[in-house]
A and B are shown apart, each in its own frame.
Chain A
Amino acid sequence: MNAIDVRGLVKRFGDKTVVDHVTMTVAEGEIVGFLGPNGSGKTTTIRIMCGLLTPDEGDGTVLGFDIRTDALKIKREVGYMTQKFSFYEDLTIGENLEFVARLYRLKPVEQYVARTLEELGLASRRNQLAGTLSGGWKQRLALAACIMHKPKLLLLDEPTAGVDPKARREFWDEIHRLASGGLTVLVSTHYMDEAERCHRISYISYGKLLATGTVDEVVRNAGLTTFVLQGPRLDQVAEALQGRPGVDQVAPFGATLHVVGSDKAALEKALADIEKQHKGVTVTPGETSLEDVFIQFMSGSKDNMT
């Protein structure tokens, strides 16, 4: 059984279609990255999955429960971490955890709270108001509160936004540890390095699911060709390349220039011309990165927010 199995989800707000026929499956124990630009419908899709929004069209199951009729059962088995810190800032860390433990009817409350505080390393700060925590600690507290009731599925909505790299690394180590224990994770993110730590990724743009698979599959299926240019006066070269047929992306990376295109023949022709015109520029085949693929997706899809 798939942890998430939804088909043809549609959600409209007014005349804007925020989620447009999204079909998605996530197997048990999988970590799936949910990627896409701002306003692409990631949060809305996640909210539909945990019963916070009702889809206008489409159906499906989460943990075997119908998303339309069994929202309450889903809520008991799912841990949902909101994008914005949404625990009580005027309650202490301990009080927040006690609140969550009681809501999920975990017994004995004190044992659950004490263990969670211990695991978090927050035992000494139990009586500190949650509102006074830094971004990284708030995120850790939120995650701890979400997994206290031992959910089978974790839905994380941009959990690492505004968190420093070390905390981010620790966060992901924790996610992998949980997944190895059988927990399924769907995590939305903007960061490419985080996407690469997922078993599988799904890319959504303006409500439409554009690609899904492992990182390698997504990169391969995108069918992009990348060349790396080296040499003098690369800024002029970049300018000369812009807008030529076959050239989709030109991006400087340190002392090199990455040129990406979907039409390999046209791209090679354009680069051959450049080599002739600019002395000393060398062209070598490069590896297409996930970021290149996403940039390609983003420039290729129609903006429905304007």
Chain B
Amino acid sequence: MKDGLGAVFSFARLGALLVKEFIQMRRDRITFAMMLGVPLMQLVLFGFAINNDPKSLPAALVATSSDPYTRAMVSALQTTGYYRFDHVAQSAAQAEFLMARGDVSFVVTIPADFARRVERGDNPQILIEADATDPSVASGAISTLSTVAGQALLRAQGTQDAAREAARGQLDVVVHRRYNPEGVSQYNIVPGLLGVILQMTMVMMTAMALTRETERGTMENLLAMPSSPLEIMLGKVLPYLVVGAVQVVVVLVAAKLLFGIPFVGSLTLLLSSVLVFVLSLVLLGYTISTMARSQMQAMQLTFFFFLPSLLLSGFMFPYRGMPGWAQTFGEIFPLTHFLRITRAVMLKGAELPAVATEIGWLTVFVALFAGVALVRFRRTLD
């Protein structure tokens, strides 16, 4: 009788498991449709919906006079693109009510004596109240404010050139918004979505795949037949690697065609890091399935992992904006590292040396999850 290595691994047995898995995948129409439909749907939905720099926000104007200075100020605010004055409030109280109801994000009050004060040079003031319950909504609109307002006033007074003359010789701060000069949110969101979509489908599907065998009772049979833990693991993991590859192609093509995301880096580098990332995900899913007794539990464990990784990886909120301990915590998610790689390679054209550390981290996850999965795998029904 043959033994030794043949007992632990045989291509024929792995082949049997792979064929079986692909047939099952093909027969489960809904799941199959989900594998390809979900990434496309999520990409289109979130790619178009999420905006980190909201513009054209509803605003109310409280202005009693309609002198040229007031009009200049209003039109200057409108041209920033952040304010959309679709409410003209008669009184401060009415404006207050509009904001409380959430109809407007801003209330701009230009006092009646604004023009007089401007002409007199007597420290003119306008008041902008922002609904800061969501700080990110207000921040962009407010940050542009002081320069815009000042320039508008100078233009209205016809003293723009004089002011520029006066500013000569003063400190000049030059800001370059690199890699994304227009600040398009989608450039940040879409490469991130690649990671998020892969994480969602890969982890969940592999987590369910093995628990389904346990739940349906087919695991007992599989264990009673001569299949080794390594073969069972590869038999479950490899098919989903293929599904992941298809998803990657779908997302990348859509990123190019639908969103016109620039791709300045090396495709080979991106694809090889995707491979490592997906491998770490399917192995994580497999590890989950060695712990869960039912598909329901597998689903719960997946979501338990999913939400923090989404929020702390830097996909939704700036990673560097988190406190130190949270940043350290964020490092334990493969998604965190993958986001850095995709954004670096796609947008910044980073080469291997720049992302080697992150790829290294992903490799560590692969080894770790594979090890845990093989140890945790129940060879028996104990």
Closest Cβ neighbor of B28 among chain A residues: A90
The answer, yes or no, to whether A47 is at the interface (CB within 8 Å) is: yes
Besides the known contacts A72-B228, A105-B13, 12 further A-B residue pairs in the complex with CB atoms under 8 A apart: A47-B381, A51-B224, A52-B223, A52-B380, A73-B1, A85-B217, A86-B221, A87-B221, A88-B20, A88-B24, A90-B27, A103-B17
Contact of B220 among A52, A90, A100, A103 (CB under 8 A): A52
B185 to chain A, nearest CB (A): 43
A294 at the interface (CB under 8 A from B): no
A82 interface contact, C-beta 8 A: yes
What residues of A have a CB within 8 angstroms of the CB of B307 in the complex?
none
Which residues of chain A have C-beta atoms less than 8 A from B382's C-beta?
A: 53-54
- Across the interface, which residues of B come within 8 angstroms of A75, CB to CB? 224-226
> Chain A residues with Cβ under 8 A from B218's Cβ?
86-88
Mark B1-44 against chain A: 1 for CB-CB distance below 8 A, else 0: 10100010010110111011001100110000000000000000
Q: Let me know if A103 and B225 touch, CB within 8 A.
A: yes
The distance from the CB of B361 to the nearest CB of chain A, in whole angstroms, is 36
Q: Which residue of A lies closest to B3 (CB)?
A: A73
B357 to chain A, nearest CB (A): 41
Return chain B residues, CB-CB under 8 Å to A76. 1, 226
**Can you list 15 residue pairs at the A/B interface with Cβ under 8 Å?**
A50-B224, A52-B380, A75-B226, A76-B226, A80-B224, A82-B224, A84-B217, A86-B216, A86-B219, A86-B220, A87-B218, A87-B221, A90-B23, A99-B20, A100-B225
Closest to B228 in A: A72
State whether A53 and B381 are in contact (beta carbons under 8 Å apart), knowing that A87-B218, A91-B23 are contacts in the complex.
yes
User: Could you say which residues of chain A place their CB within 8 Å of the CB of B228?
Assistant: 72
- In the complex, number of A-B residue pairs with CB atoms less than 8 Å apart: 79
C-alpha gap A98/B224 in the complex (Å):
17
Which B residues lie within 8 Å of A51 (CB)? 224, 380
B297 within 8 A of A: no
Which residues, 196 to 232 on B, are CB-close (under 8 Å) to A?
Answer: 216-221, 223-228
Partner-B contacts on A (CB < 8 A): 47, 50-54, 71-73, 75-76, 78, 80, 82, 84-91, 95, 98-100, 102-105
Residues of B near A90 (CB, < 8 A) are 23-24, 27-28
A52 to B24 CA separation, bound complex (whole angstroms): 25
Decide: B225 and A104 in contact? CB cutoff 8 A: yes
A53–B381 CA distance with the chains assembled, in angstroms: 6
Interface centre among B16, B19, B221 (most CB of A within 10 A): B221
Question: Which residues B150-186 have CB closer than 8 A to chain A?
Answer: none
Decide: B225 and A102 in contact? CB cutoff 8 A.
no
| CA of A105 to CA of B333, assembled, Å | 40
Distance A298 CA – B280 CA, assembled complex (angstroms): 54
CB distance from B1 to the nearest CB of A (A): 7
Bound state CA distance, A98 and B20, in angstroms?
Answer: 9
Partner of A102, one of B15, B23, B217, B221: B15
Residue from A52, A72, A80, A82 having most chain B Cβ neighbours under 10 A:
A52
* In the complex, the 6 A-B pairs of residues with the closest C-beta atoms, listed nearest first: A102-B16, A86-B221, A80-B224, A86-B217, A75-B226, A84-B217
Q: Once bound together, how far apart are the Cα atoms of A73 and B228, in whole Å?
A: 12
In the complex, are the beta carbons of B381 and A82 less than 8 A apart?
A: no
The answer to whether B381 and A52 touch across the interface, beta carbons within 8 angstroms, is: yes
